[in-house]
Amino acid sequence: MSAFIDAMLERAKASKQTIVLPEGDDERTLAAAQEILAGGIADLVILGNAEAIAGSAYNLEGARIVDPAKSEDRQRYAEAFYELRKHKGVTMEDALAKMDDVIYFGTMMVKLGDADGMTCGACHATSDVLRAALQILKTAPGVKAVSSFFVMAVPDCEYGDDGVFMFADCGLEIQPDAEKLSQIAVNTGRSWQTIFGTEPRIALLSHSTFKSTVASADRDKVIEATRLAKETAPEMLIDGEMQADAAIVPSVGTSKAPGSPVAGKANILVFPDLDTGNIAYKLVQRLAKAEAYGPITQGLAKPVNDLSRGASAADIVGVVAITCVQCQAQKAQ
């Protein structure tokens, strides 16, 4: 397991948070839960069939097991969900039915403070996890758009911070406009500060560096997003529009973007849309054999993180630890 995840585990243990794991019917989730409980990483609420979970091969002593179908909180969560969504045409009957969905039930738990955060997605689509979070938890104060990032750890790499980068948004916002792109940049900078505690250097990427190409809507979107991001967070090192090599390679940064505080030393790469972000992280993961952790959600009022459906138990433990660190940071604000 990487140094990054080790650090997250240690920080999670330092101030235990309560995390909901709604996929208690999933074997890997239960294996992860056993490890989390044994390691003192988090307090857990596990959703699912209580008898099946209790009868599993795993030692889940200390976890709160909740069966949404039988829970005494079902009505309370449904009523709160109805209040949140009735302006969208949701009826009380719809709300009660929604509580059969473990993702919605778990998200309501977080909303009402019965847990601090949630980690799931081992057997649910990303869009299902995020839609519930967006509908129920909404954005944190001051944040207009929820987005996501990957922590990329590239072996034997002198760029970024010893090969460590954040890539955003590679998982959520499909076609951000300039304002949303600027939010992705600033919020990823804040996530860097939360997770690493060091200075983020944020590059907004394009096919062009400092207007080196002819004007186009794509290029100008990144130029405008850079302007807005700098305006929103003047204390942060943010620059763009720039090409990927100008962002990370010092000699190219100096020649293509002289005077930039970011060019040549960026540790955060902000992509213009989900296509470029998603393609880039997968190429770096496969071709450079990088470790890729994410997508980690940012900007929600309370932390919810999605898992890849191929996630192993160890991956789930890691994402729970990251969720705990985000919970700690939000409480400290």
List interacting residues with ligand COA (CB under 6 A).
Answer: 88, 126-127, 130-131, 134-135, 139, 145-146, 171-174, 274, 278
Beta carbons of 147 and 277 less than 8 angstroms apart: no
Closer residue to ligand COA, CB minimum distance, 126 or 312:
126
Q: Residue 132 CB, nearest distance to ligand COA (Å)? A: 9
CA distance 14 to 11: 5
Closer residue to ligand COA, CB minimum distance, 6 or 177:
177
Closer residue to ligand COA, CB minimum distance, 187 or 208:
187
Q: Residue 307 CB, nearest distance to ligand COA (Å)? A: 12
Residue with tokens 């911070």: 161
Closer residue to ligand COA, CB minimum distance, 160 or 295:
295
Residue with tokens 């909303």: 111
Closer residue to ligand COA, CB minimum distance, 70 or 87:
87
Q: Residue 120 CB, nearest distance to ligand COA (Å)? A: 14
Q: Residue 154 CB, nearest distance to ligand COA (Å)? A: 20
Q: Residue 158 CB, nearest distance to ligand COA (Å)? A: 29
> Which strands form 164-168's sheet, in the order they lie side by side?
237-242, 201-205, 268-270, 164-168, 147-153, 291-298
Which tokens hold the place of 82? 């109805």
Closer residue to ligand COA, CB minimum distance, 77 or 271:
271
Q: Residue 172 CB, nearest distance to ligand COA (Å)? A: 5
Which residue has its beta carbon closest to ligand COA?
134
Q: Residue 272 CB, nearest distance to ligand COA (Å)? A: 15
Q: 321 by DSSP, 3-state: which?
A: helix
Closer residue to ligand COA, CB minimum distance, 24 or 295:
295
Which tokens hold the place of 90? 């949701």
Closest CA to 54 of 70, 30, 28: 30
Q: Residue 184 CB, nearest distance to ligand COA (Å)? A: 9
Closest CA to 103 of 17, 45, 20: 20
CA distance 223 to 172: 21
Q: Residue 90 CB, nearest distance to ligand COA (Å)? A: 10
Closer residue to ligand COA, CB minimum distance, 33 or 228:
228
Closer residue to ligand COA, CB minimum distance, 35 or 128:
128
End-to-end CA distance of the chain: 30
Residue burial 297-332, b: 16+ Cβ < 10 Å; e: rest: bbbbbbbbbbbbeebebebbbbbbbbbbbbbbbbee
CA distance 301 to 299: 7
Beta carbons of 37 and 61 less than 8 angstroms apart: yes
CA distance 181 to 223: 10
Beta carbons of 208 and 185 less than 8 angstroms apart: no
Which amino acid does the sequence have at 300?
L
